[in-house]
Structure 1
Amino acid sequence: MNQTLLVEIQTEELPPKALVKLGAAFANGIANGLKARDFLEADSVVTPYATPRRLAVSITKVRATSPDKQIREKVLPVSVALDKDGNPSAPLAKKLAALGFPDLQISDLERAQDGKAESFFYTYTAAGSALAGGLQDVLADTVAKLPIPKVMSYQRPDGATVQFVRPVHLLLALHGEQVLPLTLLGLDAGRQTMGHRFLSHGGPITVDHADNYAAVLESEGKVLSGAEARKESIRTQLLEKAGADLVLMPESLLDEVAALVEWPVVYECRFEEEFLAVPQECLILTMQTNQKYFALTDANGKLRSRFLIVSNLATSDPSAIVGGNERVVRPRLSDAKFFFEQDKKKTLESRLPQLANVVYHNKLGTQAERSQRVMRLAGAIAKRLGYDVALAERGAMLAKADLLTDMVGEFPELQGIMGTYYARHDGEHEEVALAASEHYQPRFAGDALPSTNTGLVVALADKLETLVGIWAIGLQPTGEKDPFALRRHALGVMRMLVEKRLPLSISELLLDAAAVFEGQAAFKDPTADVKAFMLDRLRGMLRERGFTPNEVEAVLAQNPDRVDDVVQRLEAVQAFAALPESASLAAANKRITNILKKNEDAMPQDAAIKAELLVEPAESALAAKMQSLESSVDSAFADSDFTGALKTLALMKEEVDAFFNDVMVMAEDLALRNNRLALLSALHGMMNRVADISKLAA
């Protein structure tokens, strides 16, 4: 009979950061194992449960016995099964005995072709197995394969040593209302579990039916068994307590806190207003990272002196809980305040000599040397863009100085952020101050780009120096390994060039970057490879934005050196592809490309179209059409009206089609052939100024 299966391991408190992964692995391992053994229906529903003190899974429509199976077993090749007289051989008798069918006769076997020879087969019905037996194997295998971060050894009351992530107290296994006779980690399965350590009545809780597990655990045990249920309860309570304020609740923190409690209750706490003089990023980080608290801000994003905590206890008088948490957070905030005050006693510039003591890479020198390289590169980029070179160089020079501060030493996540605060305190120009944090942008996919010219230039310089330097010493990404985040740096550079529409040559940028490594012994110029790598990142970025692979290849096939207008070109290609003429012109362009490629060695270098050699009406008409449209295309291209340029070119469809229908390009007369190749070369150049539209051909 199909019923719900429930399996639970009740433990001591599990590691919160591993709980979600452990819970999923436990549920999936059991479900997949039972599915492989044919105990599940196609529409069986798997529900994982994981709390700080249990791993469990509920699966609907689980069979009590797996179905019988028809098995066709190969016995032996006929040449082996029969002796020279055609009688059963000794190997056949031995094989049948090994298969468990010693009394079978030759007449019971099926003789059938098996490849190039014949073999004997036997078909029989294998009875299904009981759930308890199958589950016992599945459970043992699942537990053995759990992604346990660190195994603990402990002794059971009988003296036996057990190894698991945490000590296990109870094993619950129900199929419907029936207890399954399983054993695991020295425990026999039953129908009992334990509720909340403090809020339940303290004794074992009996689960009468697998379907009632979550409800019984919640009502009698004061445990929300589902991680998502606890997470949503926390989220709802946080929003209620926040009132008009905004609560900072990153998903990672919600997940971790949900793994720390079985019955979440949110309380409001406060800290002294004096701590608000410390940069709020420091306070927020220490509350989230060290204490697992939720900070509150006003509508403008300014930190409030009240914060929210999630407790595992519900009480009518939370004063002890609130007071305890307020006492705990105070030293943390005091530390942050102390670090901030101490750091301000030294300017960022005064810290620069210490960068010489920080090794960047043994083949590329110290952070001081790297800062000098980035500074020179930032100045070169600023000059190309017409930005303030002095600000760019100053911003680059100070960008890494905050790495030497106490605050960043305690909280590395604040690098750059603290640099901005300290630079402002030192009286630096606002763009120089912002460059300390903005030069790390974009830190991740979708992150904001630098908002200032100085921040933008320093961000480009920092990433290009990393790309060229690390690549030059042979540490380019391989497979999934990218320890220096070169993929992210390349994507960041391309995003800035494209989204900020910077009129910069990629080749020149990379040459500028390579130049700052002059005299570096281990340096091998990687600029060509790095450019290809960057364009490959751009391909992926553009595809993620909804452009098709063919559209992207059409624009990037010409290996562009500037990408500030790449999106506009892609939009033009999209508009062109929607025209009824596009398919025919793309196919013709592909044909032209192939013809020119095959004849590139035979064509004169200075081949020009000669009107007197346009003897066929179709080629004369095509040349005339090209001439009539040339000024319109040039004008549209000069105005960056790429869509208009391609739409104008689409007007040549009839003449292009007629040319290929009526004109023999590879004429026997060499002069005619070269003239037609020159005509096609001019047409090819005209059609592909925006993009290589041959890439749109199916």
Structure 2
Amino acid sequence: MTNATHVATLLVELLTEELPPKALPRLGETFAAKIADGLKAKGLAAADTVFRAYASPRRLAVTVTGVAAQGTAKEVTEKLMPVSVALDAEGRPTPALLKKMEAKGLSAGAVAGFARRIDGKAEALFHTAVVPGAKLADVLSAIVHDAVKALPIPKVMRWGDGDATFVRPVHKLTFLHGADVVPGRVLDLDSGRTTRGHRFMSRGDIELATADAYEPTLLAEGKVIPCFAERRADIERQLLAEAAKQGARLGASKEDYADLLDEVAALVEHPTVYVGEFDAEFLAVPQECLILTMRANQKYFPLFDEAGTLLNRFLIVSNMRVADPSNIVSGNARVVRPRLSDARFFFEQDKKHRLEARLPRLAPVVYHNKLGSQLERVERLEALAGAIAAQLHGDVAAAKRAARLAKADLVTDMVGEFPELQGIMGRYYALADGEGQVVADAIQAHYQPRFAGDALPAGNVAAAVALADKLDSLVGFFGIGLLPTGDKDPFALRRAALGVLRILIETPLPLELPKLIEAAAAGFKPGLLGAEGFAAQLQDFILERLKNLLRESGRDGAVIDAVLALKPARIDLVPAKLAAVEAFRALPEAEALAAANKRIVNILKKAAATPGEPDLALLQEEAEKALFHQLIEVAPLVDSHVANEDYTDALCALAGLRAAVDRFFEDVMVMAEEPLTRHNRLALLARLAGLMNQVADISRLSA
């Protein structure tokens, strides 16, 4: 190796068998970051050192710029012991000090160089020494070993006769610092300067001249694009270019193919895109089946026309670039045909039995051992969806019919093969059975929204069935005490709650959350939902999800707390209340009224009994009389605005009370000694608080 002050780029590479594709990007990022952090911790790289992660199907690697062969020496001062213990009465070192010095390799004469300083209340001896910086050759193996141990690998394997374990067998280890090999050993392998390229398009071992030559050498000689992000971007460029040539699209948006693109980028090292084709007769099968078959099973990219209709062409991302790709294309066409034939067979066979005829087959399918079978659940959904549709003045019969058939596709061959198609296939089979369009659409839509940004069920019938589905899950699992804990949410209850919230808010629907929970609970057998207070607990859980949802959308935390503190039953009215509180908060009177409200709340909390209505005859001070008359005057206006859902006008009308409220607290002793007077003033404040807090808890706006 070169001299200790040598600074150069460091390369670390593990060459392996094929790594798990879905985990590859994270493995590469973690491996690179941990090695860079380890070098910084040892003083071999600066805090702002740049590193580049590499991850391909058969390698994890990182290059780190500006790595020193040896870190900078440092002065280290260490407390030895108190002077009273270290030196005798004549100032000579005691045996205790001599033993300490011997352990540190210090001669007896070193005592003269020890510093004496006050440490706490006593004087102590301190020794300062120059500690040489860490050597890269001494610590690199340990840094890489720690990085390997830190990788998010759920299960490791052992190979050969050694003791090394990793997610896949490892064949080569490369440590290069500039042009020099750093000696080291990790996973039973000694470090070297060679790597390997593409399995078929590269020659055997490739010798790397320098660490900086790693990427260009792999590209030129090894036919490998080692950087995952660059390989992914290259695949996407090729896909888009070829789709454009075909006059087609890869999907409605990038989200349609993003996951498949990630997976394919983790499967190939030298991506090349080719066009494949299947028989047009397969287009008679619902396109969702064909799309899922191609994407999930074959890793193909289906092509669509401008209207989003599937074409009988697809794109293949091959790991080979050849002059004549006809064998690759025809081979892939042969492979996909049996898959598409299976999909067609399932579709045709499933259509031979009506959805309604499949309902008895749901009886032995357990939904949850405490909550019964899927058939029992269907019966609950049918009643609940009908009740919700009635509240929405929708088609009750259609909602009940859709709910009755919503889970029947779970026992079809197609959904058995492709669970992702539940609901989607139910819609197709319902239409084939002659069910109405509204019913068929509601069957598919009742799972929506399935994820953030997903479409909402359209129409009252679909919304009723979707709400019934989610509320039944929430009420059922809360009712038997199976709540989400920490990161664990095995029954996807957080997602169900967010779905309920989005449907109620964004549709919007004039439904009361407590009544929806009550209606869902009524569908379960008496005594089944035994968890104490679960309904209130569930409402709090849903409101907490709402709070998080609103905060993520950028709403002010104090405004959110003010509105949700009243536990609003009508979730659809929350956005208007938030807007009203934001408008009120901008008024010059807002802060004073919020502070007064906070004071009122605290006073009323301390009251021994709940006050009734204030009595004008018992009012004594001019300030309390003035406040009473203003309350009488403004209350009908505020109540009218609230009843008409004009929340901004309601809160703004309260602004006129500020002067009267301020004067009241300046001139009136609320907690008067005379009981009737005190009780009447508390009643007046309770009336004021009730008027001010119809839209939100205004006291939450006070700093």
TM-score, reference length from structure 2:
0.93
Distance 1:599 1:185, change over 3 A: closer
Q: Match for residue 559 of structure 2? A: 551
What is the distance in 2 between the residues matched to 1:339 and 1:374? 27
Q: Which of 179, 182, 201 is the equivalent residue of 2:181? A: 179
Percent same amino acid at aligned positions? 56
Query: Partners of 2:360 and 2:189 in 1: how far apart?
Result: 63
Unpaired segments ≥5 residues, structure 2: 1-5
Which of the numbers 225, 245, 248 marks the counterpart of 1:245?
248
On the 8 A contact 1:171/1:189 being kept in 2, the answer is: yes
Letter in 1 for 2:550: L
1:18 and 2:23 aligned: yes
Equivalent residue, structure 1, for 2:467:
460
The answer to whether 1:590 aligns with 2:598 is yes
- Classify 1:13/1:564 alpha carbon distance in 2 versus 1 (closer, same or farther; 3 Å): closer
Partner of 1:30: 35
| Greater alpha carbon shift after TM alignment, 635-644 vs 352-361 | 635-644
Q: What is the alpha-carbon distance in structure 1 between the residues aligned to residue 643 and residue 61 of structure 2?
A: 67
2:644 to 639, 643, 655: 639
1:166–1:533 distance in 2 versus 1, CA, 3 Å? closer
The one-letter code sitting in structure 1 at the alignment partner of 2:192 is G
**Cα-to-partner distance string for 1:372-421 (whole Å, 9 max, x where unaligned):** 12222222222333222222221111111111001111111111111111
Q: Which moved more, 1:183-192 or 1:652-661?
A: 183-192
Match of 1:42 among 44, 47, 61: 47
1:178/1:577 Cα in 2 relative to 1: closer, same or farther (>3 Å)?
Answer: same
Q: Which moved more, 1:7-16 or 1:24-33?
A: 7-16
For 2:512 and 2:152, the matched residues in 1 are separated by 48
The alpha-carbon deviation at position 463 of structure 1 amounts to 1.3
Whether contact under 8 Å (1:517, 1:523) holds in the other structure is no
Q: Deviations over 1:502-543 (max 9, x none)?
A: 222222222222221133556445212111211211211222
Alignment of 1:230 with 2:231, yes or no, is yes
Please state how far the C-alpha of 1:77 moved relative to its aligned partner: 4.2
State yes or no: 1:124 paired with 2:129. Answer: yes
Amino acid at match of 2:38: G
Counterpart-to-counterpart distance in 2, 1:622 and 1:134: 77
Q: Post-superposition shift, 1:216?
A: 2.2
Deviation at 1:350, TM superposition (A): 0.6
1:608 to 593, 604, 614: 614
CA distance in 1, matches of 2:567, 2:154: 47
Q: Is the 8 A contact 1:234 1:310 kept in 2?
A: yes
Counterparts of 1:443 and 1:114, CA distance in 2: 63
Task: Flag the 1:165–1:364 CA change in 2: closer, same or farther, 3 A.
Answer: closer
Q: CA deviation at 1:9?
A: 1.9
Q: Aligned match of 1:650 in 628, 639, 655?
A: 655
| Residue of structure 2 in register with 1:264 after alignment | 271
In the alignment, does 2:364 pair up with 1:357? yes
1:573-603 per-residue CA deviation (whole Å, 9 max, x = no partner) reads: 01111112111111111112222222251x6
The aligned residue for residue 53 of structure 1 is: 58
Change (3 A) 1:149 1:318: farther
> Partner of 2:401 in structure 1?
394
Contact kept, 8 Å, 2:163 with 2:188, in 1: the verdict is no
The residue type paired with residue 531 of structure 1 is Q
CA distance in structure 2 between the aligned counterparts of 1:361 and 1:144, rounded to whole angstroms:
38
1:100 alignment partner, SS class: coil
Asked if structure 2 preserves the Cα contact closer than 8 Å seen for 1:287 and 1:293, the reply is: yes
**Which residues of structure 1 form unaligned runs of 5+?**
none
CA contact (8 A) 2:80 2:127 kept: yes
Q: CA RMSD in A?
A: 2.2
- Equivalence for 1:164: 166
**Offset of residue 69 of structure 1:** 1.6
In 2: Cα distance, 1:69 partner to 1:636 partner: 73
Distance 2:426 2:110 in 1: 88
- Number of positions where the alignment pairs a residue of Structure 1 with one of Structure 2: 691
Query: In 1, distance between residues paired with 2:560 and 2:529?
Result: 36
Q: Could you tell me how far apart the structure 2 residues matched to 1:486 and 1:553 are? A: 23
Q: TM-score, normalised by structure 1?
A: 0.94
What corresponds to 1:374 in structure 2? 381
State the one-letter code of the partner of 2:225: L
Letter in 2 for 1:217: L
- Does the alignment pair 1:542 with 2:550? yes
Which residue of the partner structure matches residue 343 of structure 1? 350
CA distance in 2, matches of 1:644, 1:36: 60
- Flag the 1:146–1:501 CA change in 2: closer, same or farther, 3 A: closer
Q: 1:138 to 1:499 in 2, by over 3 A?
A: same
Aligned to 1:140: 145
Structure-1 separation of matches of 2:148 and 2:560: 48
1:409 aligns with 2:416: yes
Alpha-carbon contact 1:469-1:523 (below 8 Å) kept? no
User: What secondary structure, in the 3-state scheme, does the structure 2 residue paired with 1:307 have?
Assistant: strand
The separation in 2 between residues aligned to 1:277 and 1:187, in whole angstroms, is 56
Q: Which residue type is aligned with residue 197 of structure 2?
A: G
> Cα distance 1:196–1:513, how it changes in 2: closer, same or farther (>3 A)?
same
Match for 1:443: what amino acid? R
Find the residue that maps to 1:420 and give its secondary structure: helix
Report the residue type matching 1:132 in the other structure: A
Instruction: Give distance in 2, aligned partners of 1:524 and 1:4.
Output: 62
Residue 695 of structure 2 aligns to a residue in which SS?
coil
Contact 1:423 1:433 in 2 (8 A): yes
Residue in 2 that maps onto 1:62: 67
Moved more, 445-454 or 572-581: 445-454
Per the alignment, residue 580 of structure 2 pairs with: 572
- Is 1:2–1:64's contact at 8 Å kept on the other side of the alignment? yes
Stretch deviating more after TM superposition (17-26 or 36-45): 17-26
1:143-542 matches, cutoff 5 A: 143-155=148-160, 162-200=164-202, 202-243=203-244, 244-248=247-251, 249-521=256-528, 523-524=530-531, 526-542=534-550
Give 3-state SS (helix, strand or coil) of 1:247's partner.
coil
| 1:629-673 residue CA offsets vs partner (Å, 9 max, x unmatched) | 334323322321111111121122222222222333334444443
Q: CA deviation at 1:444?
A: 1.5
Contact 2:611 2:682 in 1 (8 A): no
> What is the rounded CA distance, in whole Å, between the counterparts of 2:693 and 2:507 in structure 1?
25
Deviates more, 1:342-351 or 1:115-124: 115-124
Q: Secondary structure at the match of 2:316?
A: strand
CA distance in 2, matches of 1:178, 1:645: 77
Query: How far is the alpha carbon of 1:371 from its aligned partner?
Result: 1.2
SS at match of 2:572: coil
User: 1:550-576 deviations in whole A, cap 9, x for unaligned?
Assistant: 111111112222222111011100111
Structure 1 distance, partners of 2:42, 2:191, is 21
What is the distance in 1 between the residues matched to 2:290 and 2:482? 37
Matched residue SS, 2:159:
strand
